């Protein structure tokens, strides 16, 4: 170790005490005290690389990296090109939605939760509303038509979410055509969302007690017309990748996670089903009347990225089956789409005018010119909201990524006391290290893509 150092002032070599070895803090010549020097940074003096061991480096992949699925930060310890340790850094998209919910009414909560997992807004909304309805004790009073519309929107949403999973996954592995195909097909579904709810995403369409707006027969017809095109294009995407040697080379036997690993890590969704376990909440704990629809739970037993990819493809086909059944039930079956209790049902209705979607003129006419009581009722329900009896519930739906659970606590007030989302992306992302460690850097990208995390849901 050297005693030569740079000092401020007039410190000189011969004034240092004999035998003194601290290179960074010597004594000044007046003996006043320690002089701190600007030096150091020589790793060799701190730790030398052990003999016979390869050099390891720590690489931050993300949070701004095109192949980490949003603002996900992967901290990789690399030895050459193989991953020795993989850790996730999350929190870059934390927006405090759960805290904000505690300061809004129960109905306003929908507007927040729809923004959590932004690729699956209808699942966020439905899980929340099912929980609120369970707290209110009105689960059995939800109109049949409202449940069918919820199922329809959720299954359309499942296809659009899986399409983004394929699209971004394809892009990350270099299959750019899969990306253009996936986003193009998703556009068809977003057009349906826009037609039905007025918004392409974050539509706050599912409300406690039902849905915000009925679907017209004309809209049903137009959704039906989209389906053959969508079906054709889905098979195009499948044909592009299923037997593609490059795609298989990147995904087969990559990102392996077996059933025991999934159980221990709480993994659900396509990753769990890729181990061969047919666990799907739509079958095992049906909600919204899923037990009355005819569909299959898709599984594979390869427990790898390729299996998860195939599951997503087949699940889209199953969703198409459910959508067709839902459309059959909607057509020519008019009925209410909101619970009958006017203390809970949202008073206003939307309608489409020459300037776009807005409050129905009939309703405005009614409350502003005809009935003072209707105005008071509208005002009270919109500003104050309804009270929800005290207690707590857990409601779960099968989102495209797995079990989306909501723990809702009410203290009997007009606002949620606590809402906690158990987001599948958050939980599934914990599998990154077990899937990636020991593999190559390129396989990390494939493994994370097969988990399909959405950082809006992870960080909330």
Partner 1 sequence: MSDTTPTNPDSTQPPVTPAEAGVEVALGQTTATAGQLTIVGVREGAFGVQGSGDTSGFGGLVEPIVMPGPTPRPYGGWFDEVADELGLALADHDLPMTSAIEKVVVDRGEITFFVRREHLPVVAGVLRDEPSLRFEMCMGVSGVHYPHEAGRELHAVYHLQSITHNRRIRLEVTCPEGDARIPSIVSIYPTNDWHERETYDFFGIVFEDHPHLTRILMPDDWPGHPQRKDYPLGGIPVEYKGAEIPPPDLRREYS
Q: Which residues bind partner 1 (CB under 8 A)?
A: 90-91, 94, 96, 98-100, 102-105, 134-135, 137, 263-268, 277, 279, 284-285, 383-385, 390-394, 396, 403, 405, 407, 409, 411-415, 417-418, 420, 422, 426-427, 429-430, 459-460
Cβ closest to partner 1, residue 167 vs residue 396: 396
For the bound state, the minimum distance from the C-beta of residue 172 to partner 1, rounded and expressed in Å, comes to 23
How many residues make up the chain in this entry?
A: 460
- Choose among 244, 242, 302, 312: nearest CA to 274: 302
Q: Smallest gap, in angstroms, from Cβ of residue 27 to partner 1?
A: 35
Smallest gap from residue 415 Cβ to partner 1 (A) = 7
> Min. distance of Cβ 277 from partner 1 in angstroms?
7
First to last CA, the chain: 51
Please report, for residues 249, 311, 359, the alpha-carbon distance to residue 246 in angstroms, rounded to integers and kept in the order given. 5, 19, 52
The nearer residue to partner 1, 25 or 297, going by C-beta atoms, is 297
CB nearer to partner 1: give 257 or 313.
257
CB closer to partner 1 out of 176 and 390: 390
Least Å distance, CB 266 to partner 1, is 3
For 62-221, strand residue ranges (E) read 73-79, 82-89, 206-207, 210-211
* Closer CB to partner 1, 263 or 376, in the complex: 263
Q: Measure Cα distances from 119 to 13, 23, 201 in Å.
A: 66, 56, 8
Cα 216 from Cα 203, distance rounded (Å): 18
Question: Whose Cβ is closer to partner 1: residue 237's or residue 432's?
Answer: 432
Tell me the closest approach of the beta carbon of residue 280 to partner 1, in angstroms: 11
Structure token pair of residue 69: 């699925």
- In the chain, what are the helix, strand and coil shares in percent, each to the nearest 5? 45, 15, 40
State how far the Cα of 257 lies from the Cα of 235, in Å rounded to an integer: 28
Q: Residue 249's CB: how many other CB atoms inside 10 A?
A: 12
DSSP symbol at 141: G
Instruction: Name the minimum Å distance from CB 331 to partner 1.
Output: 33
Give the shortest CB-295-to-partner 1 separation in angstroms: 18
Long-range contacts of the stretch 130-133 (C-beta < 8 A, 24+): 130/287, 130/288, 130/395, 130/397, 130/406, 131/393, 131/394, 131/395, 131/406, 131/407, 131/408, 132/106, 132/208, 132/388, 132/408, 133/208, 133/209
Closest CB to partner 1 among residues 150, 279: 279
Q: Measuring CA to CA, how many Å separate 81 from each of 76, 77, 344, 429?
A: 10, 10, 58, 22
Closest to partner 1 by CB, 238 or 396? 396
Nearest approach in angstroms of CB 458 to partner 1 is 9
Task: Output 217 or 258, the one with its CB closest to partner 1.
Answer: 258
Q: Are the beta carbons of 410 and 391 closer than 8 angstroms?
A: yes
- Of 134 and 401, CB closest to partner 1: 134
Find the shortest distance in angstroms from Cβ 89 to partner 1: 9
Residue 397 in contact with residue 406, Cβ under 8 Å? Answer: no
């Amino acid at each position: 170790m050297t005693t030569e150092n740079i000092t401020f002032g007039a410190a000189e070599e011969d004034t240092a005490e004999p035998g003194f070895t601290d290179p960074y803090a010597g004594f000044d010549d007046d003996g006043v005290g320690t002089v701190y020097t600007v030096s150091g940074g020589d790793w060799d003096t701190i730790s030398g690389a052990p003999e016979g061991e390869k050099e390891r480096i720590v690489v931050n992949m993300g949070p701004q990296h095109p192949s980490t699925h949003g603002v996900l930060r992967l901290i990789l310890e690399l030895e050459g090109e193989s991953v020795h340790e993989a850790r996730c850094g999350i929190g870059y998209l934390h927006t405090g939605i759960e805290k904000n919910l505690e300061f809004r009414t129960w109905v306003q909560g929908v507007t927040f939760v729809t923004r959590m997992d932004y690729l699956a807004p209808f699942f966020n909304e439905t899980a929340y509303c099912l929980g609120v309805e369970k707290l209110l004790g009105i689960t059995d009073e939800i109109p049949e038509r409202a449940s069918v519309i919820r199922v329809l929107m959720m299954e359309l949403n499942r296809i659009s979410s899986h399409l983004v999973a394929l699209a971004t996954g394809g892009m990350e592995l270099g299959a750019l055509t899969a990306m253009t195909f996936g986003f193009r097909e998703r556009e068809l579904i977003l057009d349906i969302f826009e037609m039905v709810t007025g918004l392409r995403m974050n539509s706050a369409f599912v409300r406690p007690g039902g849905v915000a707006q009925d679907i017209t027969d004309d809209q049903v017809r137009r959704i039906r017309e989209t389906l053959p095109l969508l079906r054709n294009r889905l098979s195009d995407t499948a044909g592009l990748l299923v037997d593609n040697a490059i795609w298989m080379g990147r995904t087969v036997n990559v990102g392996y996670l077996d059933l025991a690993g999934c159980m221990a890590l709480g993994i659900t969704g396509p990753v769990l089903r890729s181990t061969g376990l047919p666990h799907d909440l739509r079958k095992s704990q049906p909600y919204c009347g899923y037990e009355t629809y005819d569909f299959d739970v898709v599984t594979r037993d390869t427990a790898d990225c390729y299996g998860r990819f195939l599951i997503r493809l087949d699940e889209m086909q199953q969703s198409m089956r459910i959508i067709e059944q839902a459309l059959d039930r909607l057509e020519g079956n008019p009925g209410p789409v909101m619970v009958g209790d006017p203390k809970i049902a949202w008073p206003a209705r939307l309608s489409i005018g020459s300037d776009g979607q807005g409050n129905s003129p009939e309703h405005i006419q009614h409350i502003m010119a005809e009935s003072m009581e209707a105005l008071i009722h509208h005002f009270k329900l919109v500003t104050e909201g309804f009270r929800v009896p005290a207690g707590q519930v857990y409601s779960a739906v099968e989102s495209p990524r797995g079990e989306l659970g909501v723990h809702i606590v009410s203290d009997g007030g007009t606002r949620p006391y606590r809402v906690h989302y158990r987001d599948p992306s958050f939980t599934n992302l914990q599998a990154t290290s077990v899937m990636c460690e020991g593999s190559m850097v390129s396989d990390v990208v494939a493994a994370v893509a097969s988990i399909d995390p959405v950082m809006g849901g992870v960080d909330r």
